[in-house]
A and B are shown apart, each in its own frame.
Chain A
Amino acid sequence: MSSTDPDHHFVAQDDYDENADIQMLDRADLDAPTWLLIWRRFLRHKLGVASGIYLLVIYLALPFIDFLTPYHYTTRDIEHIYAPPQPVRFVHENYVGLHTYPTEEFFDLETFQVKSKVDWTTPVPIPILSNCGKSYHLLGLFETNFRLICPPEGYTLYLLGTDRLGRDVHSRIMHGAQLSLTVGLIGVTVSFAIGLFLGGAAGYFGGWIDSMVMRAIEIIRSMPELPIWLALSAAIPANWGPVAVFFVISIILGLLDWPGLARAVRSKFLSLREEDYVKAAELMGARPRRIITAHMMPNFMSHLVASATLSIPAMILGETALSFLGLGLRPPAVSWGLMLNDALDLTVVEIYPWLLMPLVPVIMVVLAFSFLGDGLRDALDPYS
């Protein structure tokens, strides 16, 4: 206990050792590789972790979409056009178990509107893990029609209703995820590659290379995005298959997105070049390639992963916007934007609001990527 009397000469009696071990670690809590420290710090960002798990689950589910959905995305049911979401319940009087009720669509001749009637008296159990519907290739290997949930024999199961052609909106949203979610990944890979190369060259070599790249970035940034997308997509030949169109669309998105990443790379490069450890490598005689690959890359890759994560949502929104305008993917492919294309007509939206359901996954995924990116970015400097 020190004293509050200013005239008292106080000396603490403790076991101070003048020749304390200089081997002792100063920050034993940081005694781990940086990636591990970043990971630990990331785990503290609850929202980021939850978003990461959510995205991981849906991406892992993508190859098994056929198994997870009750219908094939092309299956049409002309008896149930514009059917509203069907009720699903667990308890009906004495019956306990997942069940639905038979519904019937009819055309209201007074309002010219498709209406639906639910028969609340007879519960129909929903079969789980059984065979139904069109057969598909699981992982491209086995042909099967085994599904997680099936519509009851002789009845329907439209959890989120049906569209103009009587196709199950729920199944189509899940199928649409396959394209809508991979567009982002492919697009980001393309823009990452271009951005890394051009941004890195600009940042490391400077001079005229730097000015060229920067001018190119400014030109691309000054172009109005939407018309350029439209022009590029319009240039895709009409006779190309859906898969080819899909790839070209994602590459177009990537081609227009790289300036952001290139700028991030360049500025990171410029700041890293001033770091003492990079100068030390230069002064020990290392050549530019070694400096870039061994000393600079490991130190900015994590930053880039965070920036890339934050730019995936823009890609997904881009695909949605393009397809919504009818210039992106083409039927029979199915994506969230294409599905929203059905909702172009205001009256349709007013009467059959479930056609807007694809908006929900778009918002969820975009938010999840933003949170994940934020969490990563916050974890990048784990040394404090």
Chain B
Amino acid sequence: MTVSPLLTVKDLSVAFGPERAPIPVVENVSFSVRRGETLALVGESGSGKTLTGKSLLGILPKGARITSGSAVLDDNLGRVDLLSIPLKELRKIRGGRVSMIFQEPMSSLSSLHTIGNQVMEAVLLHNECSGGDAKNRCLETFQNVGFPDPERAFRAYPFELSGGLRQRAMIAMAMVCKPRLMIADEPTTALDVTTQATVLELIKQLQRDNGMSVIMVTHDLGVVANMADNVVVLRKGKVVESGPARPVLMTPGHGYTRKLINAAPEIPENLDARSEPSEDFILHATNLSKTYPGKPVGLGKMSDPVKAVQDVRIELRRGETLAVVGESGSGKSTVAKLMLQAERPDPGASVMFTGQDGKEIDVAALSGSELIKFRRKVQIVFQDPFASLSPRMNVCDILTEPLRVHNIGTGREQRDRAADLMERVGLSADHLQRFPHAFSGGQRQRISIARALALGPELIVCDEPTSALDVSVQAQVLELFKELRDDFNLSYLFISHDLAVVADLADRVAVMWRGRVVEEGPVKALFNNPVHPYTKALMAASPEPDMEKPLDLAAVALGAGEPQSWVEPFGYQGDDAPGLIEVEAGHFVRRAA
């Protein structure tokens, strides 16, 4: 195979805004991709990585335009500059010689057409062949991207497929014309981590089989380490570092790259025990279940009720952090809602909260003014910092609102408290009169944390508080959580989809799968000695920015499937799950005795 570049991008600049006062978002970016290799465009939000990818296919959003540069595609069909050819020519290339996969598999497929229909359209647009030939080609591609039953997938509508299968359908659509280059824009960000691992492997394998090149747009250095031959690190529209993956990741030259690599959460090799087990529970819940009634499906029939949480036990000791980890649909957020009394558990559950005053409260039975008193002690930090602050209130109002609701202090005292809180979460009190939309995601999350602290709570429920943040910001916010816990003797119930994120913060970890806890234990035992195949799969699937630690797909495959595919004694059929068994002190695993 020749090593001449398939695509050479030179001096690409993209700007928003009016002609006379352009706002540059991508500046003089150059890189090249060789045949059969993968180039990763890495950066955090606002780095211009997605715009760079999109500008190659002429699909920039409204208002953005290319101000300089060239992107020469040189394949067996000739040389062509993607940035300067007319739209009509570009249309022939899109989906044919160069194709693209998007982040959100649901919105990138039309829900009114079958998968087969949509994939076949790409074939028919770019090739002169009969419907029968096109269909055969689709089925072959479906086989290649790993659909268990290609015929069924051909007839299926997008909503019938899971997120992972949908992304496979997107990949099939991008692959079906055998493109020379595939641009993948965060192809796995919306997927669960175990699904991500298999999709990444699929892209790699397709690349090996077809010799195509891939441009991988991603924020995740872990993905980069597993996929890329070359890396371009972008920051605020400029290239800060580029080169072959190994030197860039192993011996980064730029401070920003170093910071990204250091901030990426990792599954620790060897953990020490954090705290001595005590019997001072702040939150003790047993028999916790939540069943949502089925929805009417017509003719008076109801669909089966959804068992979001089944027989979960939560034991959170004062001053500790319990992390509940699971993928989408595991019921972890429902657990958080049940603890906050935002939802009522099924009868039979007991949720006991013991405040600093030593009084035990039955949370499930609270109502009226008792409930309002309880709210002072338990607060929440939400996932999305852009949705959790009212755009019509300035920061001062946001922070004093909890005090006003509970009638604490005079106006002056409330404002002083707000200023204190701002300083406490690392922001200047000068920002009090500003509005949330002026702040970055990380700053807003700090304001959310300050609001949660305003009432002096004892327990804070953190519902994926860092998953909407950039990695470098995530590390800072996690650090803040740790500091605050120690300063105020707080207890956290920390919900996360990422085991690596909680490794540093949690005292105990509970891994949930489809409403059940499959493994629970002290952080040391769980990370050093994971027992359940699903826990092992989660750990193996978490990509790390270290070329020496590639994904262990064998371990992922063992634990990521349905329970019947789990090895003895963990596997089970249907809803007939075994109980939790204590394998060592405080370390429980769901398996047959």
Which positions in A face B, CB cutoff 8 Å? 1-12, 14, 16-18, 22-23, 25-28, 30-34, 37, 275-277, 279-287, 290, 294-295, 298-299, 383
Report if A26-B428 is in contact (Cβ < 8 Å); known contacts: A4-B32, A285-B375.
no
In the complex formed, the residue of A with least CB distance to B240 is A12
Chain A CB within 8 A of B564 CB: no
Q: Closest approach, in angstroms, between the C-beta of A285 and any C-beta of chain B? A: 3
In the assembled complex, 21 residue pairs joining A and B whose CB atoms fall closer than 8 Å, in A order, are: A2-B239, A3-B242, A4-B30, A5-B32, A6-B5, A6-B33, A6-B244, A9-B244, A18-B255, A25-B438, A26-B443, A27-B438, A31-B435, A34-B435, A37-B437, A281-B401, A283-B342, A283-B379, A284-B405, A284-B451, A285-B376
A285 in contact with B10 (CB, 8 Å): no
Q: How far is the CA of A4 from the CA of B8 in the complex (A)?
A: 7
Report whether A25 and B391 are in contact in the complex, using a CB–CB cutoff of 8 Å.
no
Q: Select the residue from B247, B371, B390 with max chain A CB neighbours within 10 A.
A: B390
Instruction: Give the distance in Å from the alpha carbon of A165 to the alpha carbon of B401 in the complex.
Output: 66
Tell me whether B438 and A280 are in contact (CB under 8 A).
no
Residues 215-247 (chain B) with a chain A CB within 8 angstroms = 229-230, 232, 235, 238-244, 247
Q: How far is the CA of A18 from the CA of B254 in the complex (A)?
A: 10
Which of chain B's residues has its CB closest to A294's CB?
Answer: B401
Complex Cα gap A17–B551 (Å): 32
Establish whether residues B405 and A285, one from each chain, have CB atoms under 8 Å apart when the complex forms.
Answer: yes
B30 touches A22 (CB 8 A): no
Residues in chain A near residue B405, CB distance under 8 A: 281, 284-287, 290
* B439 within 8 Å of A (CB atoms): yes
Residue-wise, chain B 25-55 has the 8 Å CB interface mask toward A (1 for contact) of 0001111111001010000000000000000
Q: How far is the CA of A383 from the CA of B431 in the complex (A)?
A: 18
Q: Does B440 contact A (CB under 8 A)?
A: yes
Name the B residues within 8 Å of A287 (CB-CB). Answer: 372, 405
A299 to B392, alpha carbons, bound, how many Å? Answer: 6
Interchain CB contact (< 8 A) of A6 among B32, B342, B435: B32
B476 at the binding interface (Cβ < 8 Å): yes
Provide the residues of chain B in CB contact with A34, threshold 8 Å: 391-392, 435, 437
Determine whether the beta carbon of B394 is less than 8 Å from that of A33: yes
Q: What is the chain B residue whose CB lies nearest that of A2?
A: B239
Given A31-B434, A284-B401: A23 in contact with B376 (beta carbons within 8 A): no
Contacts known (A12-B239, A22-B426); A295 close to B30, Cβ less than 8 A: no
Q: Which one, A6, A28, A277, contacts B387 given CB within 8 A?
A: A277
A18 contacts across to B, CB distance below 8 A: 255-256, 258-259
Quick check: B388 and A9 within 8 Å, CB to CB? no
Chain A proximity of B366: nearest CB distance (Å): 11
Tell me the minimal C-beta distance from A41 to chain B in angstroms.
12
Distance between B383 CB and nearest chain A CB, rounded to angstroms: 8
Whole-angstrom distance between the alpha carbons of A189 and B417 in the complex? 41
Instruction: Return the CB mask of B434-472 against A: 1 if under 8 Å, else 0.
Output: 110111111100001001000100000000000000000
Closest partner residue, chain A, to B72 (CB atom):
A4
B257 to chain A, nearest CB (A): 8
Asked if B75 lies at the interface with its beta carbon under 8 angstroms from chain A, I say no
A32 to B253 alpha-carbon distance, docked (Å)? 39
A72–B379 Cα gap in the complex (Å)?
A: 69
Q: Which 3 A-B pairs have the closest CB atoms?
A: A26-B440, A9-B243, A11-B253
- Given the known interface contacts A284-B401, A295-B390, A383-B437, the answer about A6 and B230 at a Cβ–Cβ threshold of 8 Å is yes
Q: A6 to B6, alpha carbons, bound, how many Å?
A: 11
- Our pick among A1, A16, A31 for the contact of B240 (Cβ within 8 Å) is A16
Task: Write out the residue numbers on chain B whose beta carbons fall within 8 Å of the beta carbon of A299.
Answer: 390-392
B428 touches A23 (CB 8 A): yes
CA distance in complex: A34, B427 (Å):
22
B384 contacts partner chain A, Cβ-Cβ < 8 Å = yes
Q: Is the beta-carbon distance between B254 and A26 smaller than 8 angstroms?
A: no
- In the complex, chain A residues whose CB is within 8 Å of the CB of B240: 11-12, 14, 16
B74 to chain A, nearest CB (A): 12
Contact of A33 with B435 in the complex, beta carbons under 8 Å: yes
Q: Which residues of A contact B383 (CB under 8 A)?
A: 276
In Å, the complex CA distance between A348 and B472 comes to 78
A7 and B243 form a contact (CB under 8 A): yes
B501 at the interface (CB under 8 A from A): no
Q: Is B527 at the interface (CB under 8 A from chain A)?
A: no
User: Within 8 Å of chain A (Cβ to Cβ): is B382?
Assistant: yes
Q: Of A7, A28, A298, which one neighbours B438 at CB under 8 angstroms?
A: A28
Which residues of chain B are within 8 angstroms of A1 by Cβ–Cβ distance? Answer: 11, 28, 30
Closest to B457 in A: A284
Chain A residues with CB under 8 A of B437: 27, 30, 34, 37, 383
